[in-house]
């Protein structure tokens, strides 16, 4: 059993949990993820590691309530326990020689972006960051990102904060004046990562994305997370989750993510019928 | 009275009923059946059956005890050499092992050794397993990686010898392939759970949610005071065919399909949270036990038509005859001498069919089986909306990649001595599918057993 040490509501549907997991915390590196299961009968879901503290023995995850499992998770409080917490999984990312990086985070994707930016910042690299959300209330980790970025741009789809529009607008704007980046890191909804990769491709700036396909075990066993990268099938859980954005088949990724759409609705409907969840549209 | 030439039948759920539920198919012997079958054993002075058993179960002795109605005694006799009898009685390929060598098989059917083993184990379980005596502790720690058949056997044997054994399991539940792979209707999970409890009652510490190679490396285990390590991590990575369309929605590896169904209990969805998409028509590619398990799960999950697509003929099928028969009775349609060449998708990227080519058998290949050769121009399409690829697995590289000094084969398996499980790294032993490639539960158990004995010898000298 794994204890929730801290809960922080970053937005109405976005929660931060700091979870006691000393062994995972000791080994975790930027770019890695965990798989958790709340209780018996529950689903195993992957969540990217947003932060970790080896000394304290804790791992921070940030999630958005979308399906039944994340909604169940969102109902837990400090002091509660979750049954299973497995990690650190996936291949860590390293940028040993990077001097200048452009980091882009969309929605809850800012969470996995943060540890990478923090690592780059601590290594002395210059980082320009762009973070965005649908609306100001859903923008996360603004202060944290500011602390580790040399420049921080903010965007909201509805214009309630910062630039009125998408992170990709700001990206285009920056690249039109300045293309001296060792890497562009983009983490967010697949469509955002796809557009970022399309924008950076003509400039030939290496572009790293982090993928979040459906998976079960996270150790290479089920193959559910397979993605096509440069024409080859890769398992995101062991070969990734970070890949070269210029080589990823994003359309296939987006299609595969919809595989259980109707089942997810069924599961939520049953939970609502039983009064476990309140529909937010009511 | 002359010996009866036929095995005593074991009752089974009728096909038309069982194809709609996940309950166990074979129902087990009654006391009368068991005694009657046990009396068929000739009690050979020089029993051949034992030679066919990878873990050396004292077969004539336990059968004699059943004939004498000492069922506790029979169970204990089996457990002297086999810690997991209820499992072996169900999933061992006895026809190729103990029963193959039974003297009765020369004239008729062999003694139903597997059914009797199952009976004794079930009888003991239902009546309550006696708490084993805790052995004298040796004060030495051994780590076992993986809680499948190899790991559980090694752990049980080492604990009985007095070692402090810790088993590290990557999943949230112990049992390995016994819980994620083999379906409930062939091996009820309650039985696996009870066998795991038995191993724990021997003093074994079980740590789930530990992915060795990630959260801890083997070198770190040694630093933590473990004096020997047994690797039984299994052959975990699914193979795909490399044909177009394998990433369409509706294509599963057998590993994923079975894990969702068995470990995550997707057959109870939405009561449980993990979904599965079975579709109306399903093609399972492959001819092994895993293919049969996948097909039989698919029919139970509500598929209307389920095909086995296999490139050779029935004779070459690696699946147990019993499983092929069960599948046929349940209405699985066999498309033999048929090889998929392409999976076809609709406009939304979902599977709509599988294009296959007919095959004929040519000259024998290196496996001794006749090589299937495609018949030109014989391509045709089977309409399906789900495809399950069950053509085998390869070893998971997580441990070899993070363990300096551990040698592997070209195909990824760990190099280990066949008799002892000893690897190229001192104090590290390995066995089961990670060494042999995908094989059977009992062979993995045999390897776990040999390695436990070798580890004991190593640590005594150390």
Which residues of chain A are in CATH 2.40.30.10 domains? Answer: 2-89
Q: pLDDT per residue over B310-326, tens digit each? A: 999 999 999 988 899 99
Among A190-194, A216-220, A231-235, B81-85, where is mean pLDDT lowest? B81-85
Which residues contact residue B109 at a Cβ distance below 8 angstroms, ignoring those fewer than 6 apart? B5, B6, B7
Among residues of chain B, what percentage have pLDDT more than 90? 83
Among B220, B233, B234, B270, the residue to mutate for chain A (most A Cβ within 10 A): B270
Determine the pLDDT at residue B439. Answer: 87
Determine the pLDDT at residue B344. Answer: 98
Are residues A145 and A110 in contact, defined by beta-carbon separation less than 8 angstroms?
A: yes
Q: Is A87 in CB contact (< 8 Å) with chain B?
A: yes
- Residue A224 with chain B: CB contacts under 8 Å: 252-253, 256
Residue range B183-191: average pLDDT?
94
Query: Under an 8 A CB cutoff, do B208 and A84 touch?
Result: yes
Mind telling me how many Å the CA of B215 is from chain A's nearest CA?
A: 6
Query: Under an 8 A CB cutoff, do B208 and A27 touch?
Result: no
B258: which strand partners? none
Mind telling me how many Å the CA of B242 is from chain A's nearest CA?
A: 9
Searching chain B, which residue's CA lies closest to the CA of residue A226?
A: B247
Determine the pLDDT at residue A282. Answer: 43
Residue B133 above 90 pLDDT? Answer: no
Q: How confident is the model at residue B129 (pLDDT cuts 50, 70, 90)?
A: confident
Q: Is A68 in CB contact (< 8 Å) with chain B?
A: yes
Determine the pLDDT at residue B146. Answer: 97
pTM: 0.93
CATH class of this structure's domain A2-89: mainly beta
Query: Under an 8 A CB cutoff, do A252 and B211 touch?
Result: no
Give residue A99's region: left, alpha or beta (phi > 0; psi -120 to 50).
Answer: alpha
Are residues A218 and A178 in contact, defined by beta-carbon separation less than 8 angstroms?
A: no
Query: Under an 8 A CB cutoff, do B247 and A228 touch?
Result: yes
Mind telling me how many Å the CA of A2 is from chain B's nearest CA?
A: 11
- Residue A43 with chain B: CB contacts under 8 Å: 264, 273-274
Q: pLDDT per residue over B89-98, tens digit each? A: 998 889 889 9
Mind telling me how many Å the CA of B224 is from chain A's nearest CA?
A: 13
Q: How confident is the model at residue A216 (pLDDT cuts 50, 70, 90)?
A: very high
Which residues contact residue B66 at a Cβ distance below 8 angstroms, ignoring those fewer than 6 apart? B34, B35, B38, B74, B116, B119, B120
Q: Is A228 in CB contact (< 8 Å) with chain B?
A: yes
3-state secondary structure chain A: CEEEEEEEECCCCEEEEEEECHHHHHHCCCCCEEEEECCCCCCCEEEEEEEEECCCCEEEEEEECCCHHHHHHHCCCCCCEECEEEEEECCCCCCCCCCEEEEEEEHHHHHHHHHHHHHHHHCCCEEEEEEEECCHHHCCCHHHHHHHCCEEEEEECCCCCCEECCHHHHHHHHHHHCCCCCEEEEECCHHHHHHHHHHHHHHCCCEEEECCCCCCCCCCCCCCCEEEECCEEEEHHHHCCEEECCCECHHHHHHHHCCCHHHHHHHHHHHHHCCCCCCCCC
Determine the pLDDT at residue B15. Answer: 94
What value does the mean pLDDT of chain B take?
A: 94
Q: pLDDT per residue over A43-85, tens digit each? A: 999 999 999 999 999 999 999 999 899 999 999 999 999 999 9
Mind telling me how many Å the CA of A226 is from chain B's nearest CA?
A: 7
Number of CB pairs, chain A paired with chain B, less than 8 A apart: 115
Determine the pLDDT at residue A278. Answer: 56
CA distances from B242 to A107, A231, B339, B389, B438 (A): 35, 11, 13, 11, 20
Question: Who among B215, B240, B264 is closest to A233 (CB)?
Answer: B240
- Residue A220 with chain B: CB contacts under 8 Å: 236-237, 396-398
Searching chain B, which residue's CA lies closest to the CA of residue A217?
A: B171
The CA distance from B82 to B397, in Å, is 29
What CATH number should be reported for the domain whose range is A100-210?
3.40.50.80
B366 is written with which tokens? 């290196």
Which residues of chain A are in CATH 3.40.50.80 domains? Answer: 100-210
- List all residues of chain A from 17 to 36 with a beta carbon under 8 Å from chain B: 23-24, 27
Residue B132 above 80 pLDDT? Answer: no
- Residue A24 with chain B: CB contacts under 8 Å: 215
3-state secondary structure chain B: CCCCCCCCCCCECCHHHHCCCCCCCECCCCHHHHHHHHCCCCCCCCCCHHHHCCCCCCHHHHHHHHHCCCHHHHHHHHHCCCCCHHHHHHHCCHHHCHHHHCHHHHCCCCCCHHHHHHHHHHHHHHHCCCCCCCCCCCCCEEEEECCCHHHHHHHHHHHHCCCEEEEECCCCCCCCHHHHCCCCCCCCHHHHHHHHHHHHHCCCEEECCCCECCCECHHHHHHCCEEEEEECCCCCEECCCCCCCCCCECEEEHHHHHHHHHHCCHHHCCCCCCCCCCCCEEEEECCCHHHHHHHHHHHHCCCCEEEEECCCCHHHCCCCHHHHHHHHHCCCEEECCEEEEEEEECCCCEEEEEEEEEEEEEEECCCCCEEEEECCCCCEEECCCEEEECCCEECCCHHHHCCCCCCECCCCCECCCCCCCECCCCCEEECCHHHHCCCCHHHHHHHHHHHHHHHHHHHHHC
Q: pLDDT per residue over B422-443, tens digit each? A: 999 999 999 999 999 888 888 9
Q: pLDDT per residue over B232-262, tens digit each? A: 999 889 999 999 999 999 999 999 999 999 9
- Residue B271 with chain A: CB contacts under 8 Å: 41
Residue range B291-309: average pLDDT?
97
Query: Under an 8 A CB cutoff, do B247 and A233 touch?
Result: yes
């Amino acid at each position: 059993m794994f204890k929730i040490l801290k809960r922080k509501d970053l937005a109405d549907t976005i929660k931060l949990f700091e979870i006691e997991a000393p062994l995972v915390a000791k080994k975790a590196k930027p770019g890695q993820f965990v798989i958790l299961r709340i209780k018996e009968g529950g689903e195993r879901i992957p969540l990217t590691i947003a932060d970790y503290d080896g000394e304290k023995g804790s791992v921070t995850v940030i999630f958005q309530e979308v399906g039944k499992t994340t909604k169940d998770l969102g109902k837990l409080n400090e002091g509660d326990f979750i049954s299973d917490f497995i990690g650190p999984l996936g291949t860590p990312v390293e940028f040993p020689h990077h001097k200048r990086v452009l980091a882009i985070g969309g929605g809850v994707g800012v969470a996995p972006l943060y540890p990478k930016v923090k690592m780059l910042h601590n290594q002395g690299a210059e980082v320009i960051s762009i973070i965005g959300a649908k609306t100001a209330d859903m923008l996360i980790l603004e202060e944290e990102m500011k602390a580790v970025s040399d420049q921080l741009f903010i965007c909201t789809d509805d214009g309630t904060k910062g630039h009125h529009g998408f992170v990709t607008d700001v990206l285009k704007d920056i690249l039109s004046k300045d293309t001296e980046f060792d890497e562009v890191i983009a983490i967010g909804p697949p469509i955002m990562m796809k557009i970022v990769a399309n924008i950076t491709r003509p400039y030939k700036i290496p572009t790293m994305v982090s993928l979040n396909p459906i998976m079960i075990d996270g150790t290479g066993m089920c193959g559910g997370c397979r993605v096509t990268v440069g024409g080859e099938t890769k398992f995101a859980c062991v070969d990734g989750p970070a890949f070269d954005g210029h080589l990823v088949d994003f359309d296939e990724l987006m299609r595969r993510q919809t595989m259980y759409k109707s089942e997810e609705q069924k599961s939520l409907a049953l939970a609502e019928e039983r009064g476990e969840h309140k529909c937010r549209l009511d | 009275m002359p010996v009866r030439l036929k095995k005593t039948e074991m009752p089974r759920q009728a096909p038309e009923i069982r194809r709609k539920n996940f309950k166990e198919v074979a129902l087990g012997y009654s006391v009368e059946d068991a005694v009657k079958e046990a009396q068929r054993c000739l009690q050979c002075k020089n029993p051949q059956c034992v030679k066919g058993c990878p873990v050396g179960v004292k077969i004539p002795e336990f059968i004699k005890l059943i004939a004498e109605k000492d069922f506790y005694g029979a169970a204990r006799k089996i457990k002297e050499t086999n810690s997991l009898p209820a499992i072996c009685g169900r999933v061992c390929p006895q026809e190729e092992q103990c029963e193959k060598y039974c003297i009765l098989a020369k004239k008729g059917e062999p003694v139903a050794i597997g059914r009797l083993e199952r009976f004794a184990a079930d009888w003991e379980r239902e009546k309550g397993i006696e708490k084993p005596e805790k052995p004298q502790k040796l004060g030495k720690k051994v780590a076992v990686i993986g809680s499948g058949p190899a790991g559980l056997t090694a752990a049980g044997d080492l604990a009985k010898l007095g070692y402090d054994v810790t088993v590290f399991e990557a999943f949230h539940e112990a049992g390995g392939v016994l819980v994620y792979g083999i379906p409930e209707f062939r091996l009820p999970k309650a039985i696996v759970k009870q066998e795991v409890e038995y191993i724990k009652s021997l003093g074994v510490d079980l740590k789930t949610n530990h992915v060795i190679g990630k959260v801890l490396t083997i070198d770190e285990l040694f630093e933590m005071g473990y004096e020997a390590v047994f690797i039984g991590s299994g052959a975990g990575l699914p193979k795909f065919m490399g044909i177009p369309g394998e990433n369409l929605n509706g294509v599963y590896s057998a590993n994923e399909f079975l894990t969702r169904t068995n470990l995550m209990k997707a057959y109870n969805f939405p009561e449980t949270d993990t979904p599965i998409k079975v579709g109306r028509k399903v093609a399972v590619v492959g001819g092994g036990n895993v293919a049969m398990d996948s097909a039989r799960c698919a029919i139970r999950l509500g598929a209307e038509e389920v095909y086995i697509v296999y490139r050779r003929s029935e004779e070459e099928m690696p699946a147990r005859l019993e499983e092929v028969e069960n599948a046929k009775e349940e209405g699985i349609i066999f498309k033999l001498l048929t090889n998929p060449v392409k999976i076809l998708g609709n406009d939304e990227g979902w599977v709509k069919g599988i294009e296959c080519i007919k095959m004929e058998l040519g000259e024998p290949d290196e496996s001794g089986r006749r090589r299937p050769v495609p018949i030109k121009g014989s391509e045709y399409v089977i309409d399906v909306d789900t495809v399950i690829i069950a053509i085998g697995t390869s070893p998971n590289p997580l441990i070899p990649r993070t363990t300096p000094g551990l040698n592997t084969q070209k195909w990824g398996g760990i190099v280990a001595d066949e008799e002892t499980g000893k690897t190229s790294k001192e104090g590290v032993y390995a066995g089961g599918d990670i060494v042999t490639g995908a094989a059977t539960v009992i062979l993995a158990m045999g390897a776990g057993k040999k390695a436990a004995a070798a580890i004991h010898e190593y640590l005594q000298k150390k």
